Amino acid sequence: MASSNPSATPLRIAIAGASGRMGRMLIEAVMQADDCRLAGALDVPGSPALGQDAAAFLGRPSGVPIVADLHEGLRDAQVLIDFTRPEGTLAHLAVCRELGVKLVIGTTGFTDAQKAEITEAAQAVSIVMAPNMSVGVNVVLRLLDMAARALSQGYDIEIIEAHHRHKVDAPSGTALKMGEVVAAALGRDLKECAVYGREGVTGERDPSTIGFATVRGGDIVGDHTVLFAGTGERIEITHKSSSRATYAQGSLRAARFLAGQPQGLFGMEAVLGLGA
């Protein structure tokens, strides 16, 4: 994506999980953006990628080696983009806070205590955290809020998500966010009304619940459907990702947004100007 102001100083971005699928997609996006510069690349100790040029897979060297030392990898960065694991993200967060590096968090699977730690850190540095950085998904979240309010009576709500075999958390962070949006629109608490599995003689469906179904297999990037099932009709709001590139481009939009934010915790709705 080209810069709207080519003369501006490029935004210096570091990437966590640099040798992973998402890490490489993020590196490629940064390398293609003329208003951004790759300033650091992190991976776990013991990774065979350590010491390699972070963009070697593109055949276009960046001059940035992949390192495990967080201070070394972040010393020249303004923003870190992190799609790793909760424990790794929190370790990165501590060093980002120390160095004044802003953070885009696409990691999912955080506990409430870990989320509280991120919220506290946002008093010192600005953070965008979202379970899905896709622009389309975040537009869908707004549509779900509207639909849930209009379909609050007489419709059963089910959320179906599918991802690749390597995904380690379920339901996905995006599915949970969808559930949270729908529950909030209905004046419910997702923790009280979510049903994450059904087996055996379950009895009739409780109309106040929000059901989740999870599929894992193959190389599915990410499919999400929210089903509003009424009498005589069904409304389905679906988003399907065919490439991780959409997450990478959304992450760059989030990084650009953070450039103007000294501190605070933001979601993608703020980045995209969709309101609260």
Spot the catalytic one: 92, 102, 163, 224: 163
* Catalytic-residue membership of 163: yes
Owner of token pair 């969709």: 274
* Catalytic-residue membership of 164: no
Contact yes or no for 64/30 (Cβ under 8 A): no
CB burial readout 87-107, b (16+ within 10 A) else e:
ebbbebbebbbeeebbbbbbb
Residue type, 230: G
Cα separation of 138 and 267, whole Å? Answer: 9
Report CA-CA distances (Å) from 244 to 86, 107, 257: 20, 14, 20
Counting DSSP H helices and E strands in the chain, the numbers are 9, 12
Task: Using alpha carbons, select from 150, 105, 112, 38 the residue that is nearest to residue 258.
Answer: 105
Cα separation of 242 and 223, whole Å? Answer: 9
Contact yes or no for 133/250 (Cβ under 8 A): yes
| Helices 135-150 and 173-185: angle between axes, nearest 10 degrees | 30
Spot the catalytic one: 71, 164, 166, 167: 167
* Structure-block tokens of residue 211: 């059901």
Cα separation of 195 and 7, whole Å? Answer: 52
Active site residues: 163, 167
